Amino acid sequence: MKTPIAELTEKKAFICDMDGVIYRGNQLIPHVHEFVSWLNNSGKNYLFLTNGSSRSPRELSQKLARLGLEVDESHFYTSALATAAFLKSQCPGGSAYVIGEPGLVNALYDAGFTMNDANPDYVVFGMSTRIDYNMIEKAVRLIERGAKLIGANPDLTDPSEQGIVPACRAMLAPIELTTGKQAYFVGKPNPLMMRHAKQVLNCHRSETVIIGDRMDTDIIAGIESEIDTVLVLSGVSTRETVDSFPYRPKHILRDVGEIIGL
């Protein structure tokens, strides 16, 4: 009988979250370098599927390079790209008032959207450390005039070197509470993200595994897509927090190093 780890190493495709799986803040998580080397040397298909919207794939590739890890930008897909693709399909040539970083703004530009702070079709909210009261108030007024509210991802918290910090959904909540309008969130566990990942990897779901540190995004996304799931305890989750959910990952590991015996 094969061990659980042996089953994982035989998978052909790996979908990996980034924050809490690959790095925390500006520090690589232990054994990540060895894990990525194993993916490359073993000929595995892999995609870093991140709910982050701040950086473009090129910037993510450059960030990993600064941390000593070389990964081509073709291996990244972000919630910013998923959000831009979704809005392009819904409202080609539309406009948006964006609260977020350049990765989100540029993805929308590339999808044919224009920036509009007077009468946009959408208010699009991504994560930014420069959010202020005036931005929130502006978003509320635009939604009152008919703009639709879109969130790049539904994450409440992110891991950092100092501990957890507020993330997109937590920062967007004042807009929802003030307007009474619920945002539509595009990032994981939305099936839009998972469908793109499977298309890029071109592997059957039985040959694929998703690795993440969050039960409410990564793990539920895998379960609903019928993909084997690995929860790593290097990010926001602990063995105790797993018990608070009505579903469980197939595997719980310390970090990605356990997959390759480290």
User: Which positions are catalytic?
Assistant: 17, 19
Q: How far apart are CA 136 and CA 116, in angstroms?
A: 15
Residue 130 backbone dihedrals phi, psi, to 5 degrees? -110, 20
Q: How far apart are CA 130 and CA 236, in angstroms?
A: 23
The candidate with the shortest Cα–Cα distance to 262, out of 2, 9, 7, is: 9
Angle of helix 133-144 versus helix 168-179 axis, rounded to 10: 50
Q: How far apart are CA 53 and CA 193, in angstroms?
A: 13
